[in-house]
Amino acid sequence: MSILQTFSLEGKTALITGGNSGIGFGIGRAFGQAGARVAFVCSKQASLERGYENYERAGVDAKGWLCDVSDEDRVAEVVAEVERELGPVGILVNNAGIVKRMPSLEMSAADFRHIVDINLSGQFIVTKAVIPSMQKLGGGKVINIGSIMSEIGRANVAAYNAAKGGVKILTSSLADEYGEYNIQVNAIGPGFIITDMTKALRTPQPDGTPHPMKAFVEKRTPAARWGTPADIAGPALFLASSASNYVNGHMLYVDGGLVATFGKI
């Protein structure tokens, strides 16, 4: 097998949560182009329709399902449907996530739990649902989407940070538990990426002045720019392919170097 062939996903079924837009869609598009059968899930009908439009525009044949990743029963139903229609899931990308920005003293415990449920518990629930099929296949790939907030803190997003920190440890724990089955569990920690989730941080303020976060990220990041979903797709393809068969329990920060540096004055 040539080195380029090791990156092929031909004949494999990939399930991507939150795969309708942003990082999830960028990964799904890359997987489809690499030969995978792509399944994506999202929690709202409008998001599902948007996902179909995005994949059709990209020339990728993908199938979508409505699913709340924190609902264990619904996840089991969807995984069973995916496997009946597309085949056993050999690649899982746990990308679904939400954020709520506010001071911790203003956040209710219910909101905190909801954010952790989607960003962390959902990754456990969906992984648990696909592991049996991966064991039968003789191997598989799980890619959890963490964040640079898996490594560093930031004010006003305590619940999100706590969940993403949990993703890092969940990844290493599952890697240890299922590595003997030839299942590699790794994570990607994106930096500041241009998506709908970060739109508020890039939109001019009511008075028309630029949002201070936009320039701050550009100055704080050695690459001097915001990332794009395409920047995440390549690393995800590596972790989904046989090229990474001896990579397990790893958190790969795709952040333009932000976590690696103290920053410049």
The string of DSSP letters for 125-177 reads HHHHHHHHHHHHHT-EEEEEE--GGGTS--TT-HHHHHHHHHHHHHHHHHHHH
The SS3 call for residue 236 is helix
Q: Cα–Cα distance between 69 and 96 in angstroms, integer? A: 8
228 contacts 193 by C-beta, under 8 angstroms: yes
Whether 160 is a known active-site residue: answer: yes
Active-site choice (52, 55, 160, 246): 160
Sign, Cα dihedral of 227, 233, 235, 236: positive
Q: Cα–Cα distance between 57 and 84 in angstroms, integer? A: 26
* Catalytic residue list: 160
